[in-house]
């Protein structure tokens, strides 16, 4: 059994810990209050109690008390498709992307009509900027076999490279249609 001195000491330690926590929480609340005051003074409404929608920043909106991502319209882009060897006779690509802050979401469709001497894997430029870190891209061939695959975005890279089937074989074939989709962070 613990002595009365030990019990009192334990209670005092608990009170001290509670007081420290209270001080930390008060500091956090004061910081949040200061940030809200700064936002309100710059014309931004607070979320609490809001009944209408308003834009926060970078595509974020508040509807009721829910913050939602409002990406807006996609921007169209037409990347050039490059094989790792040879050259295509006829190939085209079209896609779209949207950004939220530095985050870029994209989708691209590559249509190979005539392969010519092209072989190996393919690459296309990113729709905008360069990647801050490495990322993977999902690929699917939709016209002939329906094979899944991937592409790679290197850190600080400006291209989607190594576009190939899941088993590292080539997508390059007459009549192939490959759809890519992915997300990356711009530098």
* CA gap 164, 45 in Å, rounded: 48
Please give the distance of CA 169 from its chain centroid, rounded to a whole number: 28
**Residue 180, pLDDT above cutoff 60:** yes
Read off the pLDDT of each residue in 119-123 and give the average, rounded to a whole number. Answer: 97
Q: For 59-88, write each residue's pLDDT tens digit.
A: 555 566 566 655 568 999 999 999 999 999
Q: For 14-65, write each residue's pLDDT tens digit.
A: 556 655 555 666 655 555 555 555 555 555 544 455 555 555 555 555 566 5
Residue 170: the pLDDT is 96
pTM of the model: 0.65
Read off the pLDDT of each residue in 96-124 and give the average, rounded to a whole number. Answer: 95
Neighbours of 53 (CB within 10 A): 12
Q: For 123-179, write each residue's pLDDT tens digit.
A: 999 999 999 999 999 999 999 878 999 999 999 999 999 999 999 999 999 999 999
Residue 129: the pLDDT is 94
Distances (CA, A) of 144 to 123, 154, 172: 20, 29, 11
């Amino acid at each position: 059994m613990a002595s009365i001195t030990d019990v009192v000491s334990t209670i005092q330690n608990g009170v001290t810990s509670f007081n420290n926590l209270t001080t930390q929480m008060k500091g956090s609340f004061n910081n949040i209050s200061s940030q809200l005051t700064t936002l309100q003074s710059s014309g931004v409404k607070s979320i609490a109690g809001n009944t209408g929608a308003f834009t926060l920043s970078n595509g974020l909106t508040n509807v009721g008390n829910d913050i939602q991502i409002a990406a807006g319209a996609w921007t169209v882009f037409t990347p050039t498709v490059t094989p790792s060897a040879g050259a295509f006779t006829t190939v085209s690509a079209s896609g779209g992307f949207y950004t939220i802050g530095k985050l870029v979401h994209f989708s691209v469709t590559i249509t190979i009509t005539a392969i010519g001497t092209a072989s190996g894997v393919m690459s296309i430029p990113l729709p905008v900027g360069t990647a801050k870190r490495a990322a993977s891209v999902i690929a699917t061939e939709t016209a002939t076999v329906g094979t899944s695959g991937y592409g790679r975005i290197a850190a600080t890279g400006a291209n989607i490279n190594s576009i190939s089937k899941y088993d590292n074989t080539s997508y390059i074939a007459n009549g192939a249609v490959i759809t890519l989709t992915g997300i990356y962070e711009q530098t």
